[in-house]
């Protein structure tokens, strides 16, 4: 997608601190971290949000969650615990319309979220 910020990060046209990459996913540090660890895990292929996924995306969604777990290990929060969040649409608080999972940790996460 020509004007998608996260597609540009995948293509390295916009700089990011990439912490993990494989054939289908990329993870990088969030530019405005909300916790000591705050990474974003995205598919390389442009997908808007979970609600836009179909049966054909089953493997990709599984891979994204496994990448979240890998990133948590790489960031050293696997044992202490962490949160995985994907905001969807207006009420979900989504601001970048390329599917992404937030991986946050390094402090206790509050519940319920705002």
Q: Is 100 a catalytic residue?
A: yes
| Cβ neighbours of residue 15 closer than 8 Å, sequence gap 6 or more | 9
> Residue 16 binds which one of ligand AMP, Zn ion, none, with CB within 5 to 8 A depending on kind?
ligand AMP
> Residue 31 binds which one of Zn ion, ligand AMP, none, with CB within 5 to 8 A depending on kind?
ligand AMP
CB nearer to Zn ion: pick between 6 and 28? 6
Q: Which residues pair with 48 in a beta bridge?
A: none
- Are 66 and 57 within 8 A, CB to CB? no
User: CB atoms < 10 A from the CB of 80, how many?
Assistant: 12
- Are 5 and 14 within 8 A, CB to CB? yes
Asked if 16 touches ligand AMP (CB under 6 A), the answer is yes
> Residue 96 binds which one of ligand AMP, Zn ion, none, with CB within 5 to 8 A depending on kind?
ligand AMP
Shortest gap between Cβ of 16 and ligand AMP (angstroms)? 5
Which of positions 73-102 make contact with ligand AMP (CB under 6 A)?
Answer: 87, 93-96
SS3 content of the chain, % helix, strand, coil (to 5): 30, 20, 50
CB nearer to ligand AMP: pick between 49 and 78? 49
């Amino acid at each position: 997608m020509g004007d998608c910020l996260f597609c540009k990060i995948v293509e390295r046209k916009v700089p990011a601190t990439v912490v993990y990459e494989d054939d289908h996913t990329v993870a990088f540090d969030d530019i405005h971290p909300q916790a000591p660890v705050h990474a974003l895990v995205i598919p390389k292929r442009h997908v808007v949000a979970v609600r836009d996924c179909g049966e054909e995306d089953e493997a990709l969604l599984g891979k994204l969650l496994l990448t979240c777990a890998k990133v948590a290990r790489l960031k050293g929060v696997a044992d202490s615990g962490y949160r995985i969040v994907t905001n969807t649409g207006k009420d979900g608080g989504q601001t970048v319309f390329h599917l992404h999972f937030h991986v946050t940790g390094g402090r206790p996460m509050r519940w319920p979220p705002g």
